């Protein structure tokens, strides 16, 4: 009996755990939604609910943020608090909306109106704190440091294990993931894809092509499958060219040319990618994308397991960003979100016997550590332990350009200062020179005046002397005239003086 009670108690506990919301979190606010739909608030993120009419969402605690999860196709919508209406682009399957920023306050009630019918699988609201697990996606990269050209949802975690946690998470590089196929018939895999990317530190929303997921074991068969469905070889290459031109990656990483375990779409992805690498800089090829995005010549391209220019990455170093977990261990966390693929034989690399497989180097078949440098415009690798050897990131380029401009500005300002100093010194020199000239002129003028004065004095003195002389002369003459007789004898010498 006791055993039966214990068994029943265990069953009840298990049942209770099963009905708990998958997204249970103390920060998730209780909501009232009208029209009512339990599917949108049960936290299970399971079956979709089709919403065609406006939704009234209420929370007495006040909403700082909303998190809408679309099933397969995002839809644009508006938010209104009765006084203000804000338009929001759907864009992403998992759409985070910062309500507090948009309305400058928390909302206890908001009306969500979709453009047409929307299929949602969950709506969450948050108060003060938003959990790190909530996916707050950014736009795809404007310029990517690294482009991972993966094929299927989960390949980015399997064959490229370690790449995303290290470069996107730890290094903080601008990383863009491009998927060659779309799991149109399996919407759940798209959500697994997003959860896995977010787990390993990718924040830029991925780009997914329109090519369907089809299995084959050869390159020819894979291309034929797409041809039958209306996709020509040229259109496949055009897609690759457009991705490279759009994101202008410094480093591109692609699949093993042999498709790892032989998958035809892996092979086709790499074959068309390598073909596109020689076309992206030719503006005459696919002129529409050249006009829209410009041309580009990828500096470095690595292919998984490629035989030439081989390097070996170390994904088993603890990363600060992830609390000491290695890039490989973090990829294991990323792959854990791909629940639909846990039945596959290669799951053992990341999940099977997880206690035994703890390092990337333990995977010897299709090692995620080994790559080959397929193409480079910056020379060969020497250290062979970093995809970015001989390459700078766009941020480093920006900082270098900013430094160059600052140095140029500083040099210019120094030149201006030197010129001003030179002009100032030249001005002082000219001022002094003019002052000397003025002093010389003044001195010359003074000297001239002095000479004129002296000359005047001399002339005046001479005139006075002459005048005096003349006066004395005439006076003397007059006096003598008074002394002489009227009939002065001609012989004066015989005139008798004296008596």
Interval 176-189: pLDDT, tens = 999 999 998 899 99
Determine if the peptide bond prior to 35 is cis (ω within 30°): yes
Q: Give residue 397's pLDDT band: very low, low, confident or very high (50, 70, 90).
A: very high
Share of the chain above pLDDT 70, in %: 89
Cα separation, 229 vs 231, whole angstroms: 6
Share of the chain above pLDDT 90, in %: 69
Cα separation, 435 vs 447, whole angstroms: 18
Q: Which of the two residues, 496 and 46, has the higher pLDDT score?
A: 46
Which helix (H) or strand (E) is 78 found in, with range?
Answer: strand 77-80
pLDDT at 441: 82
pLDDT at 446: 80
Q: Does domain 21-126 sit in CATH 2.60.120.260?
A: yes
* Domain range 146-391, CATH class: alpha beta
- Residue 168 DSSP code: I
80 SS3 class: strand
Q: Give residue 353's pLDDT band: very low, low, confident or very high (50, 70, 90).
A: low
If you average pLDDT over residues 235-262, what whole number do you get? 98
327-335 vs 187-199: helix crossing angle, rounded to 10: 160
User: Mean pLDDT: which of 19-28, 333-342, 409-418 is highest?
Assistant: 333-342
Cα separation, 219 vs 259, whole angstroms: 9
Cα distances (angstroms) measured from residue 21 to each of 17, 18, 43, 45: 9, 8, 4, 9
- Answer yes or no: is pLDDT of 17 > 60: no
């Amino acid at each position: 009996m006791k055993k039966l009670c214990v068994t029943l108690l265990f069953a009840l506990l298990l049942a209770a755990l099963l009905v708990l919301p998958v997204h249970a979190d103390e920060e998730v606010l209780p909501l009232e939604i009208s029209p009512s739909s339990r599917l949108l608030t049960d936290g299970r993120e399971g079956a979709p609910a089709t919403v065609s009419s406006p939704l009234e969402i209420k929370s007495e605690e006040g909403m700082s943020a909303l998190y809408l999860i679309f099933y397969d196709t995002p839809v644009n919508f508006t938010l209104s608090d009765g006084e203000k209406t804000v338009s929001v682009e759907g864009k992403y399957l998992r759409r985070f909306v910062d309500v507090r920023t948009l309305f400058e306050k928390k909302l206890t009630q908001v009306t969500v109106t979709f453009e047409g019918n929307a299929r949602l699988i969950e709506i969450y609201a948050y108060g003060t704190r938003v959990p790190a697990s909530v996916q707050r996606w950014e736009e795809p990269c404007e310029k990517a440091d690294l482009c991972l050209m993966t094929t299927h949802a989960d390949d980015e975690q399997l064959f490229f294990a370690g790449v995303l946690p290290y470069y996107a998470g730890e290094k903080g590089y601008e990383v863009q993931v491009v998927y060659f196929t779309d799991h149109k018939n399996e919407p759940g895999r798209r959500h697994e894809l997003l959860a896995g990317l977010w787990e390993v530190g990718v924040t830029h929303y991925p780009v997914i092509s329109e090519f369907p997921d089809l299995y084959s074991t050869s390159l020819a068969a894979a291309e034929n499958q797409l041809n039958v469905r209306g996709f020509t070889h040229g259109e496949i290459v055009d897609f690759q060219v457009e991705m490279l031109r759009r994101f202008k990656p410094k480093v591109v990483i692609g699949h093993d040319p042999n498709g790892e375990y032989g998958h035809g779409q892996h092979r086709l992805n790499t074959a068309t990618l390598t073909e596109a690498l020689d076309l992206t800089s030719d503006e005459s090829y696919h002129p529409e994308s050249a006009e829209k995005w410009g041309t580009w010549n990828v500096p470095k391209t690595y292919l998984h397991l490629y035989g030439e220019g081989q390097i070996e990455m170390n994904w088993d170093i603890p990363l600060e960003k992830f609390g000491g977990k290695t890039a490989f261990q973090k990829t294991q966390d990323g792959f854990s979100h791909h629940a639909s693929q846990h039945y596959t034989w290669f799951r053992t690399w990341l999940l099977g016997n997880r206690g035994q497989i703890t390092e990337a180097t333990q995977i010897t078949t299709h090692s995620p550590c080994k790559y080959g440098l397929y193409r480079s415009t910056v020379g060969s690798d020497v250290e062979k332990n970093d995809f970015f050897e001989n390459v700078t990131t766009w941020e480093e380029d920006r900082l270098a350009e900013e430094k160059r401009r600052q140095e140029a500005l500083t040099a210019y300002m120094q030149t201006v200062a030197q010129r001003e100093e030179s002009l100032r010194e030249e001005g002082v020199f000219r001022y002094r020179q003019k002052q000397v000239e003025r002093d010389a002129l003044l001195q010359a003028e003074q000297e001239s005046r002095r000479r004129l004065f002296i000359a005047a004095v001399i002339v005046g003195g001479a005139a006075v002397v002459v005048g005096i002389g003349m006066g004395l002369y005439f006076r003397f003459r007059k006096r003598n005239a008074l002394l002489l007789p009227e009939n002065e004898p001609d012989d004066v010498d015989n005139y008798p003086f004296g008596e």
